[in-house]
Structure 1
Amino acid sequence: METRKIQITGKSTYIISLPKTWINKIKIKNGDSVILIPRSDGTLLVNPKLEKNKELTKNTINLESRDTEKLFRKFIGAYLAGYDIIEINSIEKLSPTVRQHIRQMTQHVIGPEIIDETINSVKVKDLLDSSDLSLIEGLKRMFMITRGMHRDAIVALRTHDIELAEDVESRDNEVDKFYWMIAKQYNLVMNDMFFADKLGVKSQEVLGYLLVARSIERIADHAKKLASNTKHVTGKIEIITKIVDASEAIMKEFDEAMNAFNRNNFDHANEVVNKARALSKITQELTQEIFLLKLPSMTIVSLAYIIDSLERTRAYVLDIAETAINHQFITTILVEKP
């Protein structure tokens, strides 16, 4: 941190000098213009970025083995960090299997596309402006997909529809896409406070959206697990009716939690917190009941996993409601600041 004294030139012009180290780092010169942005907290931001030709950021991933899971983790890490170009290099010739895996990786995220390939490298570029998708729209899309996944997983359980259960499992990737996009937007805001302005939100608000997105992504994961376990439950089992009822109660609070977050309503969110906590009694009773049933061990285990997924879903709904409360206070402070 450096301190500068204010000087007066003429009768009404106040000037300060800018640190030379900052000038050299930003690479601005005599005659260049900067943007001055007064903030609500009394600070003044000096922004040297006047939407000139942006220098693309690049990350190089060296493929050292055939471990495709490791490659995927590195790719997602580079994507979340906000790199414009991700280049995957190998000392040896890239096999068709690895190339296919790289294509599949680009399909798991929003924006990146393969723009160039050589014998031993693949270049991927993010063709989407990350500010084009608003946080509100991203959350809404995640919620709609996840809500449908859970609903159809319960239908598959009730009707023994294996094909529907497998369809539910396949939709999880779509939720992951939007979650990673929101996580990427959060990281971009942390690195560039002006990116929040492009998104149409305050930088302090973005954490709330990320936390809700994370909870929705976890609910989608459990909808997938729920669907997977329904394939091992056959025959007419009375407890399934109770499981369906518990699911409907939890999904109702899921809807209400999202409404409370979107509307910044403390009382609404607080009510959801109380109701979501009360629902834990239902899942506990179901857990105790299944072990009294005289059913094949595989069926008992699958039902136990299903009820566990319902309980975890309830817990994530509770997290969303609590995040909505915290988010409401943050946005209120931002509005009240002069």
Structure 2
Amino acid sequence: MERRKIQLIAGTTYSVSLPKKWVKKNSLKQGNEISIIEKSDSNLVISPRSFKEKKLNEISLNVDDYIGGEGNIQNLSPILFACYYIGIEKITLFSKEILSKNIKTKIRKTLLNMSGTEISYEDEQKITIRVLLDKSKIEFPQIIYRIGILIEYSILNLTKQLNINEIRLNENEIDRLYHLAAKMISLSLIDSNILDSSKIKNNSLILSYFLMSKKLENLSDTIYYLSEYINKNKTKTDNKKIFDFVRNEINRGVKYIVWDHLFIFERIGGEKLDNINELISKIKDKSMQRYFEDIIRYLKDIEDEIVNISFYSQLIRKGFL
């Protein structure tokens, strides 16, 4: 790192000299134009080349290039999500032939998990999708808060009279919120303004936020599978202590993410966790036992990432990151 003093020229212009090695390395001469970009954190980025900031706002894709000769439509969802994650606002899918019913159905089902999207045009050979989301108004901690609330609702549903339709609705919304979280994380990597407005704030936190989001989705999926198993087999479950433990830990972790990270988060462990594992080991239904084991495993993974977030936040606060 090099330091430079600001100079005032003719009483009106502020000037900073460039490092000589950097100028020579980039073959710059007097009169050459460079680019200066101000980031949301007030830092300036100097580029040795003058350029216009490029942004991929729209894309047109021939679905025939992605479904293969056998008409495998499974690639369509990942490709649509990839476009969604990087902030493309207009996605056109077309075919030289007629778009099959299966392809159109697959597209519509995928859009259910893409917040703020709609089909703006459709004919036999083409579908145009618009993403109408205002990215600058979406805060990542609030997405996590909503996911946490929905998981709690599903757990409470399981401990009382099971309403499988309500749990299915919760699961669908959590899937949609997970993809929205992934989108905001992806955009934060490429746009410092989104990094700031999303309340992620620092690149050092991005990986842990992503892993935490994914494990929350995994935990939610497992609760959903457990509820379907109980509903299908008409199984009675008397595991309120385990459910209450999971619900309280989810609530504790989510509150930490939403609030300022002023202290190191304490991961579950010790006697309390041992007692829960012992209760799980006594469950006679082995399938149900495995579901609970997976839930606890995902819960520990989530809290590992929250510990990381709390540690990185301390370093950020001290100016090390």
TM surpasses 0.5: yes
Cα shift readout 1:185-240 (whole Å, capped 9, x = no counterpart): 111122233421232322322333222211211111011101111123447x6xx3
Distance 1:129 1:15 in 2: 39
| TM-aligned CA distance change 1:266 to 1:168, over 3 Å | same
Note the C-alpha offset of 1:97.
4.4
* C-alpha distance in structure 1 between counterparts of 2:41 and 2:146, whole Å: 32
Aligned to 1:244: 240
Which whole-Å CA distance do the structure 1 matches of 2:215 and 2:253 have between them?
A: 11
Structure 1 window deviating more from structure 2 (321-330 vs 275-284): it is 275-284
Question: Which secondary structure does the structure 2 equivalent of 1:232 belong to?
Answer: helix
User: In 1, distance between residues paired with 2:224 and 2:60?
Assistant: 33
Aligned pair partner of 1:280 in 277, 282, 285: 277
TM-score (normalised: structure 2): 0.78
Question: What's the offset of the Cα at 1:44?
Answer: 4.2
- Residue aligning to 1:25: none
Partner of 2:318: 336
Name the aligned partner's letter for residue 221 of structure 1. Answer: D
Query: CA separation in 2, counterparts of 1:46 and 1:277?
Result: 54
Gaps of 5+ in 1: 23-28, 291-302
Choose which of 84, 97, 110 in structure 2 pairs with 1:92.
97
CA contact (8 A) 2:280 2:293 kept: yes
User: Amino acid of the residue matched to residue 306 of structure 1?
Assistant: M
Report the equivalent of 1:296. Answer: none
For residues 278 and 86 of structure 1, do their structure 2 counterparts lie closer, same or farther at Cα, with a shift above 3 Å needed?
A: farther
Aligned to 1:294: none
Of 10, 15, 18, the residue aligned with 1:16 is 18
Q: Separation in 1 of the partners of 2:136 and 2:40?
A: 22
Q: Deviations over 1:260-287 (max 9, x none)?
A: 44443655x325344446522321232x
Q: In the aligned structure 1, how far is the partner of 2:246 from the partner of 2:229?
A: 19
Structure with greater helix share of residues: 1
Instruction: Quote the residue 2:299 is aligned against.
Output: 317
- How far apart, CA to CA, are the structure 1 residues paired with 2:308 and 2:54? 39
Structure 1 residues 88, 55: closer, same or farther in 2, change over 3 A?
Answer: closer
In the other structure, the counterpart of 1:112 is: 117
Taking the TM superposition and a 5 Å limit, the aligned residue runs for 1:178-197 are 178-197=177-196
Q: Is the 8 A contact 1:6 1:14 kept in 2?
A: yes
- The residue number in structure 2 matching 1:270 is 266
Identical residues among aligned pairs (%): 16
- What is the CA-CA distance between 1:101 and the residue it aligns to? 3.2
Contact 2:56–2:88 (Cα < 8 Å) also in 1: no
Question: What amino acid sits opposite 2:91 in the alignment?
Answer: I
State the partner residue of 1:175.
174
**Structure 1 residues 7 and 323: alpha-carbon distance in aligned structure 2, compared to 1, 3 A threshold:** closer
Q: Distance in 1 between matches of 2:23 and 2:180?
A: 36
Q: Do the aligned partners of 1:110 and 1:181 also contact (CA within 8 Å) in 2?
A: yes
Conservation of the 8 A alpha-carbon contact between 1:72 and 1:105: yes
Amino acid at match of 1:16: L
Is the 2:40–2:196 Cα contact (8 Å) retained in structure 1?
A: no
CA distance in 2, matches of 1:245, 1:76: 38
Alignment match, 1:26:
none
In structure 2, stretches of 5+ residues that fail to align are 27-31
Q: TM-score, normalised by structure 1?
A: 0.74
Q: State which of 97, 113, 128 in structure 2 corresponds to 1:123.
A: 128
Alignment of 1:72 onto 2:77: yes
Tell me what 2:254 maps to. 258
Q: Secondary structure at the match of 2:137?
A: coil
Quick one: which amino acid aligns to residue 219 of structure 2?
A: I
CA RMSD of aligned residues (A): 3.8
Post-superposition offset of 1:244: 2.5
Q: Is the alpha carbon distance of 1:7 and 1:90 closer, same or farther for their aligned partners in structure 2, counting shifts above 3 Å?
A: same
The structural deviation recorded for 1:183 is 0.9
Q: Name the residue aligned to 2:45.
A: 45
Q: 1:114 to 1:102 in 2, by over 3 A?
A: same
SS of corresponding position for 1:172: helix
**For 1:39 and 1:53, how far apart are their aligned partners in 2?**
21
2:87 to 82, 102, 108: 82
Equivalent residues, number: 301
1:260–1:171 distance in 2 versus 1, CA, 3 Å: closer
Partners of 1:117 and 1:234 in 2: how far apart? 44
Q: 2:57 aligns to what?
A: 56
Distance 1:325 1:56, change over 3 A: same
